[in-house]
Amino acid sequence: MKLDNLFLDAKKGYYRNLAFIQGDDSVSKAIVILKEYLKINPRATIAYAFHPWIEGSKEKLKKFMNVANVNDIDYSSSEKYLGSTFDVVILDCIDDFRPNYIARLSDMARGGGLVLLYSDNIFKNKLYKSSLTRHNIVKDLFEKRFLQKLLQNRGIIYLGDKEIIRPYSSSETSLPKKKGIFKIPKRLYDLCVTDDQAKVIEEFNFIEEEGKRVFTVIAPRGRGKSVAVGFALSNFMIKNIENTINIIVTSPSYYSAKELLEALVRGLKLFKVDIKVLRSKEGKIMSIRVGNVRIRWTAPEIAKDEDGDIIIIDEAASLGIENLDYILRRWEKVVMITTVHGYEGSGKAFLKYINNLEKNVKLQMVKLDYPIRYARGDPVEKLIYDIMLLDVEPEVAESTNNLTEISQETLFSDEQLLRQIYGILVSAHYRNSPDDLMLLGDMAFQKIFTIDPGIAVAQIVEEGGLNDSEIESMLYAEGNEGNLIPHRIIKYQRLKNFGELRGWRIMRIAVIPSLQDKGLGSLLLNKVTEIALNYSLDWVGSSFVSELKVLNFWLRNGFTPVYLASRKNEGLGGYSIIVLKGMSEKGKSITSFLSANLKDKILRTSHQVYFNVSPLVLVKILRSTPSIEYGNISDLYKAKIISYLNGILPYNSVSEAIHALATKYFFENKFDIDDVLLASLFARTFQGKSWYHAGLSLGLKPRQVEENMKSAISQIFSKYYNSFEDFAIF
């Protein structure tokens, strides 16, 4: 096999090639290709990704290590290597063929390099695919499309049932040309690979101006946005070295901000100042100090309430809208960095959120276009975008209000339809990944409904109808994510009988962004529940992150909350809620039972378990649960409440009485009071938040929180007792 010219041209045009090898001899063939590459780049840096705990995986690795020095990367911790760059990236796809890993790791190969995937057979015995398998049934539509797209693109080497080489050309790529027109220190400009990065440094001055300001940097992956912000921060620190400034950096995980912090240190070293860097035992940069300016990384849950002058949020879209709302209320100067068209998500929902910020917030946005790890026009980037549909844009059309069910086979055989349907799902949700596309194509027991002509989509998974052994395995901690709702109810609510019921979990329901808030989502949901009745199902439900707008959608359509996760899902950036609508009598009865239990848990544990959940969300849940008679409160408590409302006693002196009255109200749900008033009451009385932090949760001043709470108490008391006259005690 003669590949010299292919690799030499890639080096000349600073683009990458991708080699895909499949078959029983894939290891030996992959080694042959690696040796060919090493002929033109003998000092190549090589990354090798695999699951080291799978039997036989280390033996395969050793065969490659006999050829060259290899940096081995555990798939499960590959996030640690974000920002790292290698000449060759090798993926062991014998043990796993997971879209997320392919998208993430292929991005680590630099221009002139090679991405090399090898597998025995991508259709069988793969770890991620096994998680999509139920009753030994799974489809292979994603894999078939992967191979089809692979062979349609250029810059690929394919060794499988046949040998195909489709060369790319250096004449089709371009490298960025720096023009040097920026008013930033030359030493920093020289560090920049592109003028896009220099623009970030120059425009970062925006954050220093008066008033509430949000500086946002967006880009597809591989454009150096985090590095650019790191350089900009180094310039900021030097300019303000005499000022006492505290800057917080946060991100979904430390590794999302790793590039930023390392670039910051690189930038500071150019200025030859005394830099104090504190690292953890693992080598993580935890804080940096220059003069009186200090920067430190902190996890999001802590960072949002830290005291500081500026907060920097890397991969901001992944924190979720409610967390970003809270930070924007709490902080005066905010810098947000996020990926668009990446494996972390499309960024569409984030951009919509940013563009709808209140008018009193000054916003500056910088977008980076030029890649820095490889040339513009790189064929591997094109291939990954094409296979994983990272840049899909659904087309807008007028609704016919007609419902159509689309089979997975039909969807994956029609590229235009797939791009439309998947594009809607991606654009309407802020958390997406290439794994979602494989799930859409491979997981059986799915139904896909759309409002024609492909403007609203519901992706549904059939769940329940479990046998005794399946129920027992869930009851005793063995997971079954293919039946997510039964798993949560059986394991955490200890309700075995729920597993016997049959239902539909609406995994995603989305409307094309330009037609949202016009009732199409509700129309689609109502049509789906009507069909569910025809299938004699017991329930229809959904699980989603606890965001107020999403919760309101489900409540408006008659769904009832039955479960709220006790721990935050860090991957999703929030607490998961399950809502159900009973279809059968059994389904209705069990929905009511679960909802009543959820009410009890929230009222008893919000001061600890649900302290960080939005009080508005908790109030919405409580008001949608069944009414439960609670009993009366004592005359002593009534007297205390009246004294508080009359300004005689402070809140702390009567808190137990207010708690008792509020508990009665939330259990019984007998009359309507404004949600914001109730949320003010709930945040202070049940969650135990200070007036200040309750205000942050609700976007209110501390004084407004207490005023709201007094109004809520007054209305509740008068409804129950019809009088504010003092009670005679004994």
Q: Tally the C-alpha atoms within 13 A of residue 22's C-alpha that lie toward its C-beta.
A: 16
**Paired tokens of 609:** 């378990």
pTM of this prediction exceeds 0.85:
yes
Q: What pLDDT was estimated at residue 234?
A: 96
By CB neighbour count within 10 A (0-12 exposed, 13-18 middle, 19+ buried), where does 42 fall? exposed
DSSP 3-state of 402? coil
201 neighbors 232 (Cβ within 8 angstroms): yes
Residue 342: pLDDT above 60? no
Predicted confidence band of residue 476 (pLDDT cuts 50, 70, 90)? confident
Kindly report which listed range (234-238, 320-324, 533-537, 583-587) carries the lowest average pLDDT score: 320-324
**Paired tokens of 205:** 């001055």
- How far is 335 from 226, CA to CA, in rounded Å? 11
Q: E strands within 11-120?
A: 17-22, 46-50, 71-74, 86-92, 109-119
| Stretch 72-100: mean pLDDT | 93
Which pLDDT tens digit goes with each residue over 271-314? 999 999 999 998 999 999 999 999 999 999 899 889 899 999 99
Residue 728: pLDDT above 60? no
403 neighbors 450 (Cβ within 8 angstroms): yes
CA angle centred on 82, ends 76 and 84, rounded to 5°: 115
By CB neighbour count within 10 A (0-12 exposed, 13-18 middle, 19+ buried), where does 659 fall? middle
Which pLDDT tens digit goes with each residue over 691-723? 999 998 998 999 999 999 999 999 999 999 876
CA angle centred on 223, ends 284 and 14, rounded to 5°: 110
174 neighbors 165 (Cβ within 8 angstroms): no
**What SS3 string covers 202-238?**
HHHHHHHCCCCEEEEEEECCCCCHHHHHHHHHHHHHH
Q: Which residues contact 462 (CB under 8 A, 6 or more apart)?
A: 445, 446, 447, 502, 503, 504
- How far is 425 from 511, CA to CA, in rounded Å? 8
Predicted confidence band of residue 346 (pLDDT cuts 50, 70, 90)? very low
**What SS3 string covers 182-197?**
CCCCHHHHHHCCCHHH
Which pLDDT tens digit goes with each residue over 618-665? 999 999 999 999 989 999 999 999 999 999 999 999 999 999 999 999
For 66-126, where are the alpha helices, taking DSSP H only? 99-106
**Paired tokens of 58:** 């280390």
